Amino acid sequence: MTVNVSKPAINVREKLAELDKPTGIAGEAMLRAETPQEQFNLIGAGRRNLIINGAMQVWQRGTSFTSVSANHTFLADRFAYQEGSATTAAYTVSQSTGPVEHGFDRSFKIEVTTADTSLAGNQYAQIHYPIEGQDLQQMAKGTSGALPVTMSFWVKSNVTGAYAATLWDAANARQNSAHYTIDASGVWEHKVITYSGDTTGTIDNDNTEGLAIKFMLSAGADYTGGVEGPTSHNTTDNYAAKHSVDFVDATGNYWEITGVQLELGKVATPYEHRSYGEELALCQRYYYQVGKESGDYMSNVCFARGGYLDLVYGTVSFPTELRTTPTVGYGGSLQGVTFSGGYATKTTTGPVTGDNTGKRTGGIRVEFPSDWTAGDEVFIVDNDGTGFISFDAEL
């Protein structure tokens, strides 16, 4: 005899929600996940964080900057100050202390030292973080399968209110704006923003900028008052639609951030900490500096040879391949030391220029105030803890 038993269909999520025993935060997050990829991310399989140096550990250029006002000035590695239409504000930027109890000992702090009390409609001030397009292909942006991404971070300020945080797609003139609110003055707060997938404008799979995160500090009326979400930048007031804070209007205003994470899906997972060494190596793809080693007098910068008159030519090997052929910079006091034909030194403040510089090695030409003998073997050293040569391949 055959017995057939039929039972009505049930919804597993609903039944689990009815249980007296809670599933916990992690369990609830797994239940909210809409795709296998989101569940994969939640259990910690593979890399999640698309941000480099989100915990503000790496500051190759220095840990304190004064009179910051120039547009597109990189400060902590990968994070830059930007402004539109030249505000009159100026700032100090420094490495500060994060919410240690939550696992973040470092933070990025910007403080107004010169206020701009009459921000024009087309002016803005923001912190900028660019991402290579080839690191964003998993978002499937510009296709019918475009995926959402979630950004989480810790933030503190003495200026409360609504701040815009926008994903900017320069190549396609697209923006995906959202906002967060700082509720209490001088208190670390954890914020989570989910951006819907943008089905318009594909991201090139190369080393150019695919998207940039814009943390708005102040925005003129031309950029506020529109709608949030993916839109064309032709409607400029959507860029910072719900932003209401005028951060630059008074000296002493400060804003700090750390623990920045951007990941696929609609769920913010715990911050993905990486070792300092790994984080430094990732940063050095965009900026590499030799010299300027605090407390290390006459640290070696590179080996060179005397070439023509007062010029010497040298090569610096990079620890990783740079994003693109870099711009060569320099600063402080450098010294040339030679033992060819007897010990001799010469001190210079440059100029230092690139000479057949590529993505794996940096050829340089250093000018000194007096002539060398052709073929002299010359060690270029940091003369007093301030001298350095830099290779900038930032976006």
List, for residues 373-386, the tens digit of each pLDDT value: 888 999 999 888 88
The pLDDT of residue 6 is: 60
Mean pLDDT confidence for 137-154: 98
List, for residues 182-223, the tens digit of each pLDDT value: 999 999 999 999 999 999 999 999 999 999 999 999 999 999
Q: Are residues 261 and 293 in the same domain?
A: no
Q: Are residues 112 and 258 in the same domain?
A: yes
CA distance 166 to 127: 11
CA distance 290 to 391: 9
Taking CA atoms, 231 is separated from 25, 149, 210, 319, 339, in Å, by 33, 16, 16, 40, 64
Q: Are residues 130 and 183 in the same domain?
A: yes
List, for residues 41-88, the tens digit of each pLDDT value: 566 556 899 999 999 999 999 999 999 999 999 999 999 999 999 999
Q: Are residues 202 and 86 in the same domain?
A: yes
* 338, 378 Cβ separation under 8 angstroms: yes
pLDDT band at 115 (very low <50, low <70, confident <90, very high): very high
DSSP classification of residue 240: T
> Is this prediction's pTM over 0.95?
no
Q: Are residues 111 and 197 in the same domain?
A: yes
Last residue of a domain, one of 283, 304, 335: 283
Last residue of a domain, one of 283, 309, 332: 283
Mean pLDDT confidence for 259-285: 98
Mean pLDDT confidence for 345-358: 92
The pLDDT of residue 386 is: 87
DSSP classification of residue 147: P
Amino acid at the residue 67: S
Amino acid at the residue 23: T
Q: Are residues 260 and 301 in the same domain?
A: no
Q: Are residues 309 and 235 in the same domain?
A: no
CA distance 168 to 210: 9
Mean pLDDT confidence for 311-320: 96
Amino acid at the residue 85: S
Residue carrying the six token digits 């030799």: 290
Count of structural domains within the chain:
2
pLDDT of residue 163 exceeding 60: yes
pLDDT of residue 272 exceeding 80: yes
* 337, 378 Cβ separation under 8 angstroms: yes
**Domain assignment of residue 352, given as a range:** 288-392
Q: Are residues 202 and 341 in the same domain?
A: no
* 98, 82 Cβ separation under 8 angstroms: no
List, for residues 195-206, the tens digit of each pLDDT value: 999 999 999 999
* 92, 111 Cβ separation under 8 angstroms: yes
* 239, 166 Cβ separation under 8 angstroms: yes
Angle at 299 between CA 366 and CA 372, to 5 degrees: 30
Residue 43 lies in a domain: no
The pLDDT of residue 38 is: 64
CA distance 383 to 346: 10
List, for residues 9-38, the tens digit of each pLDDT value: 666 556 555 555 555 555 666 666 666 666
Domain CATH code at residue 224? 2.60.120.260
- 25 by Cβ neighbours in 10 Å (0-12 / 13-18 / 19+) ranks as exposed
Last residue of a domain, one of 228, 261, 283: 283
